[in-house]
Amino acid sequence: MTLRYVAGALALFLAACTNQESAPARENAQTAKAERADPFTYANYDAVRATHLDLDLAVLFDEQTLKGTATLVLKRLDPEADTLVLDTNDLAIESVEAEIGGTWRHVSFILGEDDPALGSRLEIELPEDAERVRVAYRTSPGAAGLQWLSPAQTAGGVHPFMYSQNQTINARSMAPVQDTPAVRMTYSARLTTPPDLVALMSAAQDEGPRDGAYVFDMPQPVPAYLLAVAVGDLSFRAIDDRIGIYAEDDILAAAAAEFEDTPGMMEAAEALYGPYRWGRYDLLVLPPSFPFGGMENPRLSFLTPTLVAGDKSLTNVVAHELAHSWSGNLVTNATWRDAWLNEGFTSYVENRLMEALYGPERATMERALDLDSLKRTVANAERPALTQLKLPADLAHPDDAFSQVAYVKGAFFLKFLEERFGREAFDAFLRGYFDHFAFQSITTEDFETYLRENLLADDPEAVSEAELRAWLYEPGLPETIETPVSDAFEKVAAQQARWLSGEIGADALEVASWSAHEWLHFINTLPKAMTQEQFAALDARFGLTDSANAEIAFAWYMKAIPGGYEPAMPAIEDFLNRVGRGKFIYPLYTALKENGREDFARRVYAEARARYHPIAQRRIDGILG
């Protein structure tokens, strides 16, 4: 064999060895890419990525639209890319321009067919040297992420109101963007509004006069779902030098008193998890139609007015939204299959903050209530795979990721790790986690790798492989889940048992010291076979049908409907007409339908529907067919 053939054979041998060695690496890379893939976006963000969004919009209440331009600063990841693909939903695209060497010129674009869930693909011609793209557009009056309220639907009754709710994939109904949590961008905005209204965004606020021209800046990169806007007749009250409340005048003072402990929550969070990195932290109390308890828009959490109970019993939601400043906003799930990275971490941090402010007993009671809710969710799940933390690849819609599994199972997983490694070690791990992944979007697999390298490696016997897999990738409740034991709840249960047995009457129940959590435990654990006399006795003694605490009222109504307690029905109708929070209204409409009151539910919904957010309308349309 000549030297030439020897060299050639050696080269082929080395190449073969290289291919054999790299096959697992290639397979791992492909698997990692698949785990990061987002099926709920059209955007070609692996080729071209938006790094900054600049909005210049007029808020047109008469037309119920936003009109203006969105300018995107681009970073090319693929030098050969000749198109930019964005997400839109019911946007009227008027023109598209690209900036080349400081000069704007029109470019061609194609707006694809509308998908009921994903909206339309906007494919834009991208010249070789284009640095920015500017889209002139108008939103739809029925935009999924925007709600327009008439003056009559506000507390003041004089001025209209508009606000956004862009999680999970509704930002595309507000602006043409890469609407995936995998992409983070900074943003700026200029809004023109009626001069007697205040405009707010999830950004540094315009602190100038109420003049109808507002400028905003968000220098920290955020995913599109954290874009947020609200415009209305709003006033402001400071709680301290970096935290305050925006609300309509009728609820402002009560909200400021209810949420006055927020600075203490901030101090506790910073002591545990490092500095707050977003500048100010303000709260906006929205009209009752807001479909969620809260939304963690950075710098400006949106809150439902149903949290203003008068006794601070529901402020855990404020703690939750604040906690998102670390878990969710700072470190974000890269796909909605990994939603537990946002919500489970946040629910764990929330519980730690409640313990720091109000003591271990309240934190234990809240975990116990959460576990009961999680058990109901798991028992009623349509698919076992939807009770995993890492959700299946065939998730039908990203909103399906937001069940008690993501929130509560995720939080109990972190509680499990805390117990196994000790609180001191786990606190240090979490603080390092937030620092390491700050302003990044990650997957469950990224978290698992970090966990193995920075916690398990120091104590490999603390958690077995089977236990880790059961928590992250298997359905249902792991055997190692904590069972919180509350002394207060045990005392409630003992009194309840005596009353149910007839040993004592409702008048003899000792409830003067009960918190809202104890009342919720009492109501939630009442048996299905309640008699009408028992319903009436509790209601006459404690006025549960007319409770001012929305959580207590809701829990009572969920017993009254299947129990056939007629005196509660007018109050339920009033509640459904006043409150738009999905946590309450979805189960109530479902219970009405399933318990022979579908006609009642349809009549109430026909009256209330216009006051609900489009997100809530779609859900209840589905419930009632």
- 490 appears as a binding residue in the annotation: no
95/131 Cα distance (integer angstroms): 17
- 343 appears as a binding residue in the annotation: yes
246 with 236: CB under 8 angstroms?
yes
Active site residue 321: yes
- 106 appears as a binding residue in the annotation: no
- 581 appears as a binding residue in the annotation: yes
Distance from the Cα of residue 278 to its chain's centroid = 18
- 582 appears as a binding residue in the annotation: yes
- Token pair, residue 47, equals 């080729």
Using left for φ > 0, alpha for ψ between -120 and 50, and beta otherwise, residue 578 falls in: alpha
- 295 appears as a binding residue in the annotation: yes
Full DSSP string of 276-336: --SS-EEEEE--TT--SSEE--TTEEEE-GGG--SSSTTTHHHHHHHHTTTBTTTEEESSG
- 232 appears as a binding residue in the annotation: no
Distance from the Cα of residue 400 to its chain's centroid = 12
Place of tokens 């529907």: 609
- 201 appears as a binding residue in the annotation: no
- 344 appears as a binding residue in the annotation: no
What length is written for the chain?
A: 625
551/265 Cα distance (integer angstroms): 22
Q: In angstroms, what CA-CA distances link 457 with 434, 453, 460, 462?
A: 19, 5, 5, 10
- 292 appears as a binding residue in the annotation: yes
Kind of pairing between the strands at 161-164 and 146-149: antiparallel
- 172 appears as a binding residue in the annotation: no
112 with 120: CB under 8 angstroms?
yes
- 274 appears as a binding residue in the annotation: no
- Token pair, residue 426, equals 């786990």
- Token pair, residue 84, equals 């930019």
537/534 Cα distance (integer angstroms): 5
- 535 appears as a binding residue in the annotation: no
- 166 appears as a binding residue in the annotation: yes
Which of 45, 163, 407, 605 is catalytic? The answer is 407
Three-state DSSP class for residue 554: helix
- 404 appears as a binding residue in the annotation: no
Active site residue 433: no
329/441 Cα distance (integer angstroms): 9
Which of 97, 248, 321, 350 is catalytic? The answer is 321
Phi, psi for residue 332 in degrees, rounded to 5: -115, 145
Full DSSP string of 17-56: HHHHHHHHHHHHHHHHHHHH--TT----TTTEEEEEEEEE
Q: Which residues are annotated as a binding site for Zn(2+)?
A: 320, 324, 343
Q: Which residues are annotated as a binding site for a peptide?
A: 165-167, 291-296, 581-583
Q: Which residues are designated catalytic?
A: 321, 407
